[in-house]
């Protein structure tokens, strides 16, 4: 049998056993023995539960079991007098056993709540209010009438008063349990119910004995059920953690009952004065007066604690509002507030830092590693800047440092030290990671407010990243450039809406005969005022403002339609493939493969006729870009790697990127006809392509001599002005290169997208 079900089985057996007790003849030995049996079994079950569940605090459960057992001994002693000696003495030795059980239960309950009392002063005060209020009621209605009864002996009065006094102490501890920070487990709740049942039995017995001649046998049900529930609390598996503190501050878990119970208890003293028999009794009035004063002081103490709690939580909320949860650095709000204060009385400088490649860490290694990396970067920034410099995480992978009134050159020196510090690897999630950053500096000259200073620092960061410098300082020329780019972005938006872009196609030919095998799709902007604008002027701006995604989708759709028209119109003379360039932003879009698939379906072009060309830089950081290429490969689309040999880690990329075509960069073709080492790389690249089963395309071929040398090295495909310039309608029926215009463009004049 599983131990977790024992408590339920005991309740299912104990409750009916309590009912059966009342079916036995009243006053019979069998009835009393049944009462004792339930108590003894409950005590033994508590000991069994300690052995089965092995709680964190076994001592309190031993005290509970001892209290139950001593009560049973008291019953046995009383029954000896009643049935053996035919006497009903009061007081008797049985009362000694009964009264000695209360301290044992009190010790167990105190052990249950004592570890939470130190940090939960509010709960302690609330419990004291309830205990004083209800204790006052005990005194007025139970204890004082017993103590004032002159018809009984002093010993009888002492014993009679001891019972409700013990109940009052139990009530105080029960109130402390209710307001404690202990976890509210089923075992704890059943313990509270057991104590309540015991108090109901004791108080009911005392009150009925004082104010009525009716029998008190009915209260045996409360005592018996208290036995049963106490044992069930021990048998429940949650008894292992009974008394453990709950998560979070206890004052944060305020319920209606927690507010109402002390409030009602505080009103008991004045309410008692409204009872006619009490108001006329000088002893009662004195007790009520003392109780009212104590309650007033306790409520005052509770209100003071409440005000402290509000202040503390206010400070905590302010701290949360001003700090980054992950790094515990200042956040944007605090940084901008500090910057505004510094601007009003000094000459602050801002150093803004934006990490490179952080998104790839999240994509490839997971967000937990990325979070650890941000924490490591934060620690290093603080170590470099020092505690006197405010370091903030502005959001994402952007950090800022505030120098409130630095010495001349201090901001530049800090930027240099930050650059050097980030060149050392950072430990994150078991990985040694190397990160770089674009750093921008801005001073207060001419800055009207904190937002303006931050804007300037942001411009400097962009300039540093674009120029690939470790850091840049803001200069007014950056504003002019930003304004021009903003205007260019607006014009690009208009150009997209007005249809000002057109496509041209540059041939990719087979060597040696020059048949056009493929065409690369390029874009031109027919500006209404400036004429034809090359891609080198507008593509970078489109990349930065995000319009490249929309522009790239338009290019893709138009190129697929044109490719399908060529196949329909030219048949075998049509190019076997059409190549479309994809930017880094497009590859980072999760739905880019779906965009390609939709363009193919709408145009009717076969996926095998489409090649998507990407740069090494676009896929170097991996993540979504690599996943997108795999999705394109699954569609049947070929992948071309552009500018091969000039990027970050070309050979490494061939292991992770699904590549079909290597486009050898023009820089390896320019001097290929010269003797010596100039042809070594081009030779090595064709060997790599052949070895991996890839197609190699030599780019930037401008002379027949270059074409002949490439053919001799083993190249079968080439592209460049020697074979044809980008035009809207290439001549696919032409024969050899000699039939075409072989005008050679100046070196570096070829612009491609």
Q: What is the CA radius of gyration of the chain?
A: 44
Q: How many Å apart are CA 242 and CA 21, to the nearest integer?
A: 31
pLDDT means over runs of 10, the chain (753 residues): 74 87 84 89 93 88 93 91 85 89 89 64 72 73 70 78 80 75 77 86 74 68 90 89 57 57 68 61 68 74 74 74 86 89 86 85 80 91 88 91 87 91 84 85 83 88 83 81 70 85 94 91 88 81 82 94 94 93 86 93 94 82 80 94 67 78 89 78 88 91 92 93 91 57 35 37
Q: How many Å apart are CA 66 and CA 130, to the nearest integer?
A: 28
What does the block give as tokens for 420? 């050097």
Domain ranges of the chain: 3-306, 332-475, 500-739
Domain 500-739 has CATH 3.20.20.450: yes
CA dihedral for 364, 369, 374, 379, sign (positive or negative): negative
Nearest to 734 by CA among 610, 504, 567, 570: 570
Nearest to 168 by CA among 211, 145, 137, 209: 137
What does the block give as tokens for 493? 């938006």
Beta bridge partners of residue 519, listed in sequence order: 507, 578
Q: How many Å apart are CA 303 and CA 126, to the nearest integer?
A: 11
What does the block give as tokens for 293? 């004063």
pLDDT of residue 402: 93
- Residue 602 phi, psi (nearest 5): -65, -40
Q: Are 240 and 55 in contact (CB under 8 A)?
A: yes
pLDDT of residue 246: 53
Length of the chain in terms of residues written: 753
Beta bridge partners of residue 351, listed in sequence order: 401, 441
Q: Are 567 and 609 in contact (CB under 8 A)?
A: yes
* CA atoms within 13 Å, Cβ hemisphere of 691: 8
Q: Are 545 and 482 in contact (CB under 8 A)?
A: no
Q: How many Å apart are CA 634 and CA 640, to the nearest integer?
A: 15
Asked, colleague to colleague, whether 332-475 and 500-739 share their fold, the answer is: no
What is 332-475's CATH superfamily?
Reverse transcriptase/Diguanylate cyclase domain (3.30.70.270)
Q: How many Å apart are CA 704 and CA 714, to the nearest integer?
A: 15
pLDDT of residue 748: 35
């Amino acid at each position: 049998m599983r131990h977790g079900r024992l408590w339920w089985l005991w309740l299912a057996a104990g409750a009916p056993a309590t009912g059966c007790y009342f079916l036995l003849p009243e006053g019979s030995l069998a009835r009393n023995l049944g009462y004792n049996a339930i108590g003894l079994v409950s005590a033994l079950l508590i000991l069994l539960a300690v052995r089965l569940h092995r709680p964190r605090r076994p001592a309190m459960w031993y005290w509970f079991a001892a209290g139950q057992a001593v009560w049973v001994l008291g019953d046995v002693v009383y029954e000896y007098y009643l049935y053996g000696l035919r006497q009903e003495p009061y007081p008797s030795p049985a009362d000694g056993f009964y009264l000695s059980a209360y301290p044992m239960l009190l010790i167990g309950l105190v052990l249950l709540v004592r570890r939470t009392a130190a940090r939960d002063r509010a709960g302690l005060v609330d419990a004291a209010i309830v205990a004083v209020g209800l204790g006052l009621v005990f005194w007025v209605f139970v204890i004082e009438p017993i103590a004032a009864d002159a018809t009984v002996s002093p010993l009888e009065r002492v014993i009679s008063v001891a019972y409700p006094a013990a109940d009052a102490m139990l009530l105080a501890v029960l109130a402390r349990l209710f307001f404690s920070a202990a976890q509210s487990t089923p075992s704890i709740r059943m313990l509270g119910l057991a104590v309540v049942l015991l108090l109901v039995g004791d108080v009911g017995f005392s009150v009925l004995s004082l104010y009525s001649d009716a029998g008190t046998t009915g209260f045996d049900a409360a005592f018996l059920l208290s036995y049963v529930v106490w044992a069930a609390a021990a048998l429940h598996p949650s008894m292992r953690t009974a008394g453990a503190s709950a998560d979070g501050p206890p004052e944060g878990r305020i319920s209606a009952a927690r507010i109402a119970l002390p409030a009602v208890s505080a009103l008991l003293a004045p309410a008692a004065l409204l009872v006619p028999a009490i108001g006329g009794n000088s002893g009662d009035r004195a007790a009520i007066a003392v109780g009212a004063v104590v309650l007033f002081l306790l409520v005052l103490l509770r209100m003071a604690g409440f005000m402290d709690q509000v202040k503390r939580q206010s400070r905590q909320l302010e701290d949360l509002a001003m700090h980054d949860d992950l790094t515990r650095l200042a956040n944007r709000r605090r940084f901008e507030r500090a910057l505004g204060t510094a601007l009003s009385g000094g000459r602050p400088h801002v150093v803004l830092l934006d990490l490179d490649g952080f998104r790839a860490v999240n994509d490839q290694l997971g967000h937990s590693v990325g979070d650890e990396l941000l924490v490591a970067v934060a620690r290093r920034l603080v170590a470099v800047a020092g505690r006197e410099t405010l370091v903030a995480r502005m959001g994402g992978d952007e950090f800022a440092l505030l120098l409130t009134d630095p010495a001349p050159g201090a901001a530049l020196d800090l930027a240099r030290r930050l650059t050097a510090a980030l060149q050392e690897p950072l430990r994150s999630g078991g990985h040694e990671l190397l990160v770089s950053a674009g750093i921008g500096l801005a001073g207060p000259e001419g800055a009207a407010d904190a937002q303006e200073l931050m804007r300037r620092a942001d411009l400097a960061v962009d300039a540093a990243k674009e120029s690939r410098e470790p850091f840049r300082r803001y200069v007014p020329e950056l504003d002019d450039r930003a304004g021009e780019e903003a205007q260019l972005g607006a014009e690009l938006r208009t150009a997209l809406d007005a249809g000002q872009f057109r496509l041209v196609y540059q041939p990719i030919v087979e060597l040696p005969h020059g048949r056009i095998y493929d065409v690369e799709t390029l874009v031109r902007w027919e500006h209404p005022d400036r004429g034809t604008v090359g891609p080198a002027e507008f593509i970078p701006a489109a990349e930065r403002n995000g319009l490249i995604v929309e522009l790239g989708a338009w290019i893709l759709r138009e190129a697929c339609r044109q490719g399908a028209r060529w196949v329909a119109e030219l048949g075998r003379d049509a190019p076997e493939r059409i190549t479309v360039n994809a930017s880094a932003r497009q590859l980072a879009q999760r739905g880019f493969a779906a965009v390609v698939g939709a363009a193919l379906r709408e145009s009717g072009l076969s996926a095998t006729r489409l090649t998507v060309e990407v740069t090494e830089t676009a896929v170097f950081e991996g993540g979504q870009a690599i996943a997108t290429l795999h999705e394109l490969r699954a569609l049947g689309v070929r992948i071309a790697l552009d500018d091969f040999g000039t990027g970050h880690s070309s050979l490494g990329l061939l292991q992770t990127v699904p590549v079909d075509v290597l486009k050898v960069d023009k820089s390896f073709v320019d001097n290929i006809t010269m003797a010596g080492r100039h042809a070594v790389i081009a030779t090595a690249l064709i060997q790599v392509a052949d070895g991996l089963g890839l197609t190699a395309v030599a780019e930037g071929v401008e002379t027949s001599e270059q074409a002949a040398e490439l053919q001799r090295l083993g190249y079968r495909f080439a592209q460049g002005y020697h074979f044809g310039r980008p035009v809207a309608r290439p001549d696919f029926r032409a024969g050899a290169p000699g039939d075409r215009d072989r005008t050679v463009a100046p070196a570096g004049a070829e612009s491609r997208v």
